Structure formats: structure tokens, C-alpha cells
Amino acid sequence: MGSIKPGRGILSMRDSDRSGIGGTPDDTATKSSDIDDFHDFVGLRSLLNPLWCYHGFRLAVVILTVFGVIMVFSSSSVNMIANGQSPWSQALKQGLFCAGGIVVAAMAMAIPSRAYRKCSGAFLVFALVLQFMTLTSLGVEVNGNKGWIGIPNVFTVQPAEIVKLALCIWMPGELIDAREKVRKGAKPLELLRAYDRLLVGYLASLILIVAGKDLGTAMIVVAIGCIALLLGDFPVKALLASVAVCVAGVIVLVIVSPNRVQRIMAVYQECSASDLEGVCYQAIHGKYAIASGGLLGVGIGNSGEKWGYLPEAHNDFIFAIIGEETGFVGAALVILLFFVLGWSMMVIALKTYDRYISIVLICIAVWIVGQAFVNIGVVVGIFPVVGVPMPFVSAGGSSLIMCLGAAGVAISMMKEQPQIKVEARRV
């Protein structure tokens, strides 16, 4: 029992939808065998232990969230004082968001996977309505992106974060239902009829986010969609065509925006003297912060870049402050924690026998871990500045609450894995 045994759902989308340990006698025997061999995980095989992955996931979420509140305080205190506010203001706000996120996560954990599948459509509609409101008079513009609703400087919500979670739990079910309607050798019109709801819902989500000029979030949504379509047995030719269209769309959006072109050039070309005070400023100071940290960092609270040099130090560029204050060791540990999140979800996804759960877990992994590494890549100069926060760590209520909500959904899905379910009953 040392190898990962993938669920039949990912490998064979023709199977009937099952969850738990039901199914054919052969499946039942296999699952019973899996449970009986639970204690076979020793040495390096422990990394494939679903129970270890389950607890490792939960622990990593807690550590990242608590560490995030600490780093938000450290990175924002100077800016708060400069604005005539208490140095604790942003940290206290982040703490309140954290408390709200914990409540959302607890509620999400209590909901069974079958309920998510049944209610996912209504949840997506709700998210799209909120996203549409960003384009109305209720929309709030921040740094050129009109992706928020609410009252400026009082209360704002970023609906795109809700859309991400809604797509993660809605697309897998739609793909499974659509695939069951498609016969081998189906004509394009038949495929279109089978996938019509999926295409309408996904394209509506993408268009509404792009309309708010939030290209960074749109790229994450594209990644979620691509992995869902791939695992959901979407026709390969149609998938490749869709990817080509998305790539072409991104290129067009970049070309028509001089600011985006400049940000890309700032990463992949040497910055001129004038650019150092302009488009290259944020990226350069992010690298300065990382370089200043060395091996062990300058100590929590001792960052020099947060003293008015690095914009968005508590948000999009918080990893730069982490690297400066905790050094290579602290930054590496943060990266390791995200690896733990991704690994845990992938292992359990491949060992569950419900294909809906498998795809949902992998979609959430792509969102959370993918966004984290895009954020890190921006700070270290691999990617241009795209304005995506680091999950669980960056300041921001919408991102933190929905990431904790996504973690709650993932834990609920993990509990359906046979070995985890058995161990949970023993406790």
C-alpha cells in the first residue's frame, strides 16, 4: 500500500457517480483492503498516508493564517502611523477577517460533499451577481481595477474571490453530468449541447472579471478552468482550442494596455534610470527586500523597505517583507507550507473514489498553491506585477475569508476518503 491508488473518477469518466465506499463488489473489496492496509505507511511512504496529509493540510492552513496576521502587522505598522492611525489597525482588521474566515471554514467543513454538488449552481449565480455589481455604481476602483463593491475606506468585498470558490465546486459536477450525455464520436453540435451550461457559466465568470480589468485574477480563473476541463475529460481538441483562445485573449489585453506592456518589459528587460522611479519601482524594491534578508533575516518588525519604499508591502508584496525579516529560512518555510497544502490535496484526491471530490480538491489546490507561487514569482522577478495576494498571508478580508472557506470545503471533501472517514469514526 505504498503507492498512490487514484480514484476511478479521474481515470475513467464513464463510471457512475459514487462516493464513500459504495459501488461494485470489486470496488468495495479494494476499498476495504485499503482501509485494512492503513498502517502499512512507514518511512517515506508516510508522505502518502491520507491521514497524515489530512492533518498536515489543516496544520499548514493554521500556521500560514497565524503567521499572516503577524506579518500584516509588521509590514503595515509604519504605513498606519504615517496615515495617523494606530499601528495595530491593519492587524486588528486582519484578525477580525481571520475570525470571520474561521466561522466560514467551520460551516464549510460541516457541509457534506453531496450538498456542495447540489447547491453549486445557485452559489455560482450568487457569485456572478455580486461580480456584475462591480460594474455598476456600487463598484469600487482600487489601483485601476474595478473589482470591489461596497463603501470606499469603510467596507469593501471582492466578489472575484467568491467566484473562484464557486467555480471550483461547480465545474466538476457540470463536467461529470455533461460527459455522461456525450456518446463516443459525438458531433460538435452534440458536444455544444452537452456542455452549454458549463461554457455559459465559465465564460460569464471570466468576462465579468476581465471587464473589471483584473487580469491577474482572470489568469487564476483560467488556470482553474483548464485543470477542471482536463480532469473532467473535456474533449482534447476543444480544450486545446479553448487554451489557444485564452492565450490570444491575454495577449490582446496586454497589447492594448501600455501599463501592462511596461510591467512585462520591466521584468524581462533591463530597467532604465527613469523606469527605476516608475514602472520598475515596486519590482526593484521587492528584490531589495529579499536580498536584505540574507539567511536568517533582519528580525520581525525590522524591515527597512516597509518605511515608505515598497508599496503594497502588507498585500501583494508581503513575501518581500517575509524574506527581509525572516530571511531565506523563513521564506523557504512559507514555500514549504504551500507545498504541504498542494501535496496533501493531490494525494487525497488521487486516493478517493469519488471523481467529483477528486476534481474539486485539485481545482482548489491549483487556485491556492498556484496563486501563492504567482505571488512569490512576482516578488522574485519571475513574473510581472499582476496584483494577486498571497493566500492566507496577505492583508485583505475577501481573500482570507474565501481561502479559509476553500480550506473548509477541502476538509469536508477529504473526510469522504475511506481511510480518513474510518479514522474519524474511531476518534
Domain chopping of the chain, boundaries = 47-426
Q: Record the pTM.
A: 0.87
Secondary structure element (H or E) that encloses residue 103, with its range? helix 89-110
- Mean pLDDT for the stretch of residues 227-253: 83
pLDDT band at 426 (very low <50, low <70, confident <90, very high): low
pLDDT band at 70 (very low <50, low <70, confident <90, very high): very high
**CA distance readout (Å), 60 to 233, 340, 341, 344:** 31, 7, 7, 10
Predicted confidence at residue 78, as pLDDT, reads 85
pLDDT, tens digit, for every residue of 349-389?
998 889 999 999 999 999 999 999 999 998 888 888 888 89
CA angle 97, 396, 381 (to 5 degrees): 145
- Strand 139-142 and strand 145-151: the pairing is antiparallel
> What is the Cα–Cα distance from 201 to 165, expressed in whole angstroms?
13
> What is the Cα–Cα distance from 83 to 118, expressed in whole angstroms?
47
Secondary structure element (H or E) that encloses residue 305, with its range? none
- Mean pLDDT for the stretch of residues 236-244: 82
**CA distance readout (Å), 308 to 20, 99, 376:** 54, 29, 21
Task: Reply yes or no on whether the pLDDT at 117 is more than 90.
Answer: yes
Of residues 82 and 218, which shows the higher confidence score?
218
Sheet containing strand 155-157, strands side by side: 139-142, 145-151, 155-157
Beta carbons of 427 and 51 less than 8 angstroms apart? no
- Mean pLDDT for the stretch of residues 267-276: 65
Task: Reply yes or no on whether the pLDDT at 25 is more than 50.
Answer: no
Beta carbons of 140 and 149 less than 8 angstroms apart? yes
What letter does residue 184 receive in the DSSP assignment? T
Give the residue among 148, 58, 57, 62 at the shortest CA–CA distance from 392: 62
pLDDT, tens digit, for every residue of 128-180?
999 999 998 888 887 777 888 887 767 789 999 999 999 999 999 999 988 88
Phi, psi of 145 (to 5 degrees): -105, 125
* C-beta pairs of 72-77 under 8 Å, 24+ apart in sequence: 72/314, 72/318, 72/393, 72/394, 72/395, 74/300, 74/301, 74/303, 74/306, 74/321, 74/325, 75/303, 75/306, 75/313, 75/314, 75/318, 75/321, 75/395, 76/306, 76/313, 76/314, 76/395, 77/301, 77/306
Of residues 6 and 247, which shows the higher confidence score?
247
- Mean pLDDT for the stretch of residues 197-224: 90
**CA distance readout (Å), 179 to 184, 229, 231:** 10, 11, 11
Predicted confidence at residue 397, as pLDDT, reads 87
Alpha helical stretches, state H, 308-390 = 318-351, 355-380
Secondary structure element (H or E) that encloses residue 210, with its range? helix 196-211
59 Cβ partners below 8 Å, 6+ apart? Answer: none
